[in-house]
Chain A
């Protein structure tokens, strides 16, 4: 199977690989895994006081499509509010990367990683987000 140019680009030059420091403020983590292929993905978001994702990092063990999907979403979530980030759909990821049908689950994984990270943030900082939203 051949990868699309965009997948190869993200695979060869993945954006935002890594992990935030344990004590960094506003960091939340989403961990997901795809039983179909045994891929595991960790997506971290760093959220500022206004509830905007200012940075994101990922660590993915999986195929080229899984790595490209997670690399892409770290770029996409930056500058978005948590709710905006939740609107990212796997179909958009699959379309952007021209993923073949057998690799659609990689984009599902990336979408679910965002959801998991946002859920983690809300669980940790639920009240603060509400306060910020009220002030805004």
Chain B
């Protein structure tokens, strides 16, 4: 087995470095790698070789987890193209976007306080529509226009949208319990 740790996640699975990928192909490639490096097959190897195959397996797993999620894939593509999304330090989002975030949070908080499950489900639907629109935009920016700075902006926005999705789910779970 040829361990090449210098390959990026896309090269590892032999898929094109794009946002829009064939997720079935990705999964198949991941399974192929994992089946080749199953620990049982290395029982006869030396400790060093076993450690290496373990590392390989870990890397394949990490690569798969990263590429499987659209947002993880987008961040990784930006990283490959030298763009950091600065999620820890870039706090300057557009005021309109932040205002909208505040409104979403307030709406979720109010629905939760009022134990209004149907409103929360309505918000989930709205959120899904918005996330899908942003994902389409992201696909164009990353795969066609190669506009990475703008794509980084959308990724940052999507991070907030993911958080909203979590918040709605927490609220629904709390009301369910």
Contacts and interface: CB of A to CB of B under 8 A. Distances in A.
Interface stretch (A4-12, A32-40, A47-55, A127-135): A32-40
Nearest to A110: B91
A102 B157 CA distance: 21
A36 B88 contact: yes
Nearest to A90: B89
B102 interface: yes
A25 to B, nearest CB: 21
B92 A116 contact: yes
A64 to B, nearest CB: 15
B159 A36 contact: yes
Interface bin, chain B: 20 to 34
Contacts of B90: 35
Chain B interface mostly = helix
Contact of B88 (A32, A38, A108): A108
Contacts of B89: 105, 108
B102 A59 contact: yes
Contacts of B86: 35
17 contacts: A31-B102, A32-B91, A32-B93, A34-B87, A34-B88, A35-B85, A35-B87, A37-B163, A38-B160, A38-B166, A40-B160, A42-B102, A61-B102, A61-B105, A104-B88, A105-B88, A109-B91
Contacts of A36: 87-88, 159
B164 interface: yes
Nearest to B109: A61
Contacts of A32: 91-93, 98
Nearest to A31: B98
B164 A38 contact: yes
Interface in A92-135: 104-105, 108-109, 112-113, 116
A6 B136 CA distance: 44
Given A35-B155, A38-B160, 12 more contacts: A31-B102, A33-B91, A35-B85, A35-B157, A38-B159, A38-B166, A40-B98, A40-B102, A59-B102, A105-B89, A112-B91, A113-B91
